[in-house]
Structure 1
Amino acid sequence: MHPATSPTTDTPAGRSHGTPVPRRRLLRGLLAATVAAPLLFGAAACGDDDGAADPSAPVKLSIFWWGGDARAKLTEDALALYTAKHPNVTFETTWQANQGYFDKLATLTAGGNPPDLFQIDDNYLAEYAARSTTLDLTSYQKSGKLDTSKFPESLWQYGVVDGKLAGLAAGENTQGLVYNKTLLIKNNLPEPTTGMTWEQHIAWAEQVTAATRMPGTQDPSADYKALWVWLRQQGKDLYKGKELGFSAEDVTKWFDLWKGARDRRATPTADVIHEGNSSDVTKQLVVTGKAATSWVWANQMPDLKKNTKDELGVVAYPGDPSAQWARASMYWSVFKGSKNRDVAVDVINFLNNDPEAVKLLGTDRGLPSNLDLRRVVSDGTTDQAMKQSIAVEAELTQKFGPSPQVPIKGHSKVKSELIKAAENAQYGRATPAQAAAQFVEACKSAIA
């Protein structure tokens, strides 16, 4: 077992996505895997036949995930529960911090020794699926062996790549605008609400700044989550097939919107915005006292609350909430060449749908995907921030629109290029139009 270096909820250090790894290294690993795959797949076919003939035969399943000590204990407890109910199945567990996780996964895959079952996120799901590394789970879903009947439809659909179910959500998340409720109540200011327009939000933030001298909102122009929601509200998307789903003109409008907000002092200065652009949950401006709101994932509420004495609230991002969707916080995928793929799929089903297992795991990987069991977890917790997080997603579930396609190859680079371009505009190193043009060109190169 590999020790982790930091605790985590959604991803390590409260981050919403995996740390990018050098793409050349990832591609080398996956390319090598495609060479090894035919031999592995052939062996796997024989193994599956044997397993079907004797379902009580001993099975040792390898499983790999990222996370901290808390996630490791919860996961191992849930796997021990599976073994208690299926004594012939044992587990070889490997886990580590997020840093270097995808390097290790690529190396294992390339070396012909991949885990049967592994954790993955939407930065890499499409890339691994495109190289036939992940097992198509569709037939298991259709047969009921992988039960998604209690999942929000858009949640399991967010694991479909090129018509194949490449991964199943280990938990649900969605975008959340977290605000300092204590500050607003103290100053007799209204709280933000789901459904307010972007202009209304900026006007509200301007009012907060004037009344409290604390900037009303973090500037989210560098935040791909916010841009993505805004694009969907404009009838666009982040991606369309293998291409970008937006133009430089779209991004210019987005950057212009937030330049106007900065000019009105609704947001902090560029240096403070830069601090808030960190994905570290402890550096979000709503908990460092440098802005009244932060743009995060809704399930980060419990971790945010640990870093402030103030009461926090959470609502959807501005605009039509149907632009948001039930996002997989991360997935479980099965290696296509696994000799034990049927058992691996059953384990995924167990982790998502067994009441005892779901209670054990709680919200560590996001809100439980099974809506019935999500309510059970909510009723059984005394963590008010967790209850808030579950409640807002329960409300938004009724308003969610269809899920977008899973991000394409180069998504991690697109996210980092957005931060670079937005900060160029925030610091005045480029006009919104110049920064947008630079961003789009960098994105085209990243996804090529």
Structure 2
Amino acid sequence: MTAPRLMRGLMAAVIALPLALLGACGGDDNSSSDGKTELTFFWWGGEARAKLTEQALALYTQKHPDVTFKTTWQANQGYFDKLATLTAGSDAPDIFQIDDNYLAEYATRNVTLDLTSYKDSGKVDVSKFPEGLWKYGVVDNKLAGLAMGENTQGLVFNKTKLEAAKQELPKTGISWADFITWAQKAGAATKIPGTQDPSADYKAFWVWLRQNGKDLYNGNQLAFTKDDVQKWFELWKGARDTKATPTADVIHEGNATDITKQLVVTNKALTSWVWANQMPDIQKNTKDELAVVAYPGDPSAQWARASMYFSVYRGSKDKDKAVDVINFLANDPEAAKILGTDRGLPSNLDNRTAVAATVTDPAMKASIALEDELVKKFGPAPSVPPKGHSTVKSELIKAAEAAQFGTATPDKAAEQFFAAAQAAVAG
């Protein structure tokens, strides 16, 4: 076993310990002699997010002088290993940022505070949230995290190159078959493959499943079959065979790279499959004009996804104050103006309208316009992915690439992925 895998295994085992064995939480010594409370706050992101978050917390302290913050942040890489360590030790944060890849894992291990009673009493106000958005924080009938932003899947395309080649632009609602035909034609006209092959992308697979009456999960079980996976892999083998996509080595680049080097940026494909709120980061890395539409097929298969959450540590000695902080960050209009769209479109719809009116970045405007268009078409949100979801994602990449490189047939690759995914959610 490699060192990183061993460390992840150890961390998973540690956070599974009962809370009674976890030691002192980050709030043990929060109250000082002068009556002030210091809350610990941990998140991932870049320097820009750190600056905005610090400003919003300073606003809270300005309005609540008895509460101050000890903040820690880092890049996404290694964040969840660090969070596991903090949660297991004597320095667990009172408030921490989390996403749907890990929310169920932490909730089922009783790390996150159940916010349901706070919601019912109005201390966590979700009255201005889209219903599906706040419910996307519910795990086993407990509200494990408060959504801090809304997002959805987005197909980003190179508008400049398509218009220069006099090619039709992709539109929301195009069928998968017609999209692949379009990609083949556009690629032939521009000499750039029409689309990244998304067979390794769980977001695309998930939307496709929902459009076909299935889902990715049903509670803690898979909601699709091995045959569904095979059909998905065969769909994209057909696209590769017609040169609608790049070759396998380039597809791998798109699977492995960060958001700033997606194939639509490096001019190795005309479209990339991302989250819609990533448009500004992608646009910064190319001089060409990009645009965004929904994934192919019926857009009602998409949903209001919580781009990320704030959760309160169940062992915090200052739960009520920590809850008030996350409610403030989600609902206070001044805080919303500070935080802007950094974590996605504001969950509070009134705040979203106010923030959207101040946005000047064309790429973010495009993302907001897509969300505004789709909010009327969104279907119900699925349940939060269960424990093991991060492994399911990585196993999909592994199996899809086996099919892409031709080391396995779609049938065998599907069999490989389905078995690994079953083991992941059962483990």
Q: Normalising to structure 2: TM-score of the pair? A: 0.94
Number of the residue aligned with 2:327: 349
Alpha-carbon offset, residue 31 of structure 1: 2.6
Alpha-carbon offset, residue 88 of structure 1: 0.8
Q: Kindly indicate whether residue 398 of structure 2 is the aligned counterpart of residue 413 of structure 1.
A: no
- Which one of the candidate residues 262, 266, 274 is aligned to 1:288? 266
Are the equivalent residues in 1 in contact too, given 2:25–2:89 (CA < 8 A)?
A: no
Identity, % of aligned positions? 68
Matches within 5 A, 1:114-263: 114-263=92-241
In structure 2, do the counterparts of structure 1 residues 178 and 375 end up closer, same or farther at CA, with 3 Å as the change threshold?
A: same
| CA–CA distance in structure 1, aligned partners of residues 318 and 182 of structure 2 | 55
Alpha-carbon offset, residue 267 of structure 1: 0.8
Q: Kindly indicate whether residue 9 of structure 2 is the aligned counterpart of residue 24 of structure 1.
A: yes
- With 25-34 and 156-165 compared, the bigger mean Cα shift is at 25-34
Number of the residue aligned with 2:19: 34
Deviations 1:326-348 (A, max 9, x none): 11111100011212111111111
Are the equivalent residues in 1 in contact too, given 2:299–2:374 (CA < 8 A)?
A: yes
- Which one of the candidate residues 342, 348, 352 is aligned to 1:364? 342
- Which one of the candidate residues 275, 281, 297 is aligned to 1:297? 275
| CA–CA distance in structure 2, aligned partners of residues 408 and 224 of structure 1 | 14
Alpha-carbon offset, residue 37 of structure 1: 5.7
Deviations 1:361-412 (A, max 9, x none): 1111111111221121121121111111111011111111111111111111
- The unaligned stretches of length 5 or more in structure 1 are 1-18, 51-55
Number of the residue aligned with 1:109: 87
Are the equivalent residues in 2 in contact too, given 1:33–1:112 (CA < 8 A)?
A: no
Alpha-carbon offset, residue 322 of structure 1: 0.9
Q: Kindly indicate whether residue 424 of structure 2 is the aligned counterpart of residue 441 of structure 1.
A: no
Q: Kindly indicate whether residue 404 of structure 2 is the aligned counterpart of residue 426 of structure 1.
A: yes
Alpha-carbon offset, residue 245 of structure 1: 1.1
| CA–CA distance in structure 1, aligned partners of residues 207 and 16 of structure 2 | 34
Alpha-carbon offset, residue 68 of structure 1: 1.6
Alpha-carbon offset, residue 108 of structure 1: 1.7
Number of the residue aligned with 1:11: none
| CA–CA distance in structure 2, aligned partners of residues 199 and 115 of structure 1 | 48
Number of the residue aligned with 1:95: 73
| CA–CA distance in structure 2, aligned partners of residues 83 and 40 of structure 1 | 22
Amino acid at match of 1:86: H
| CA–CA distance in structure 2, aligned partners of residues 89 and 95 of structure 1 | 19
In structure 2, do the counterparts of structure 1 residues 252 and 435 end up closer, same or farther at CA, with 3 Å as the change threshold?
A: same
Amino acid at match of 2:178: Q
Deviations 1:43-95 (A, max 9, x none): 99xx99x9xxxxx9422111111112111111000000000011111111111
In structure 2, do the counterparts of structure 1 residues 40 and 388 end up closer, same or farther at CA, with 3 Å as the change threshold?
A: closer
| CA RMSD in angstroms, aligned pairs only | 2.2
| CA–CA distance in structure 1, aligned partners of residues 355 and 38 of structure 2 | 30
- Which one of the candidate residues 319, 335, 339 is aligned to 2:297? 319
In structure 2, do the counterparts of structure 1 residues 21 and 390 end up closer, same or farther at CA, with 3 Å as the change threshold?
A: farther
Deviations 1:271-292 (A, max 9, x none): 1111111240122111111111
Alpha-carbon offset, residue 34 of structure 1: 2.8
Q: How many equivalent residue pairs?
A: 422
Deviations 1:301-340 (A, max 9, x none): 0001101111111000011111111111111000112121
Alpha-carbon offset, residue 40 of structure 1: 6.6
Are the equivalent residues in 2 in contact too, given 1:64–1:119 (CA < 8 A)?
A: yes
| CA–CA distance in structure 2, aligned partners of residues 388 and 88 of structure 1 | 41
Q: Normalising to structure 1: TM-score of the pair? A: 0.90
Alpha-carbon offset, residue 38 of structure 1: 9.6
Number of the residue aligned with 1:3: none
Number of the residue aligned with 1:399: 377
Deviations 1:24-43 (A, max 9, x none): 123222133533369879x9
Amino acid at match of 2:266: T
- Which one of the candidate residues 317, 320, 328 is aligned to 1:339? 317
- With 183-192 and 219-228 compared, the bigger mean Cα shift is at 183-192
| CA–CA distance in structure 2, aligned partners of residues 20 and 83 of structure 1 | 40
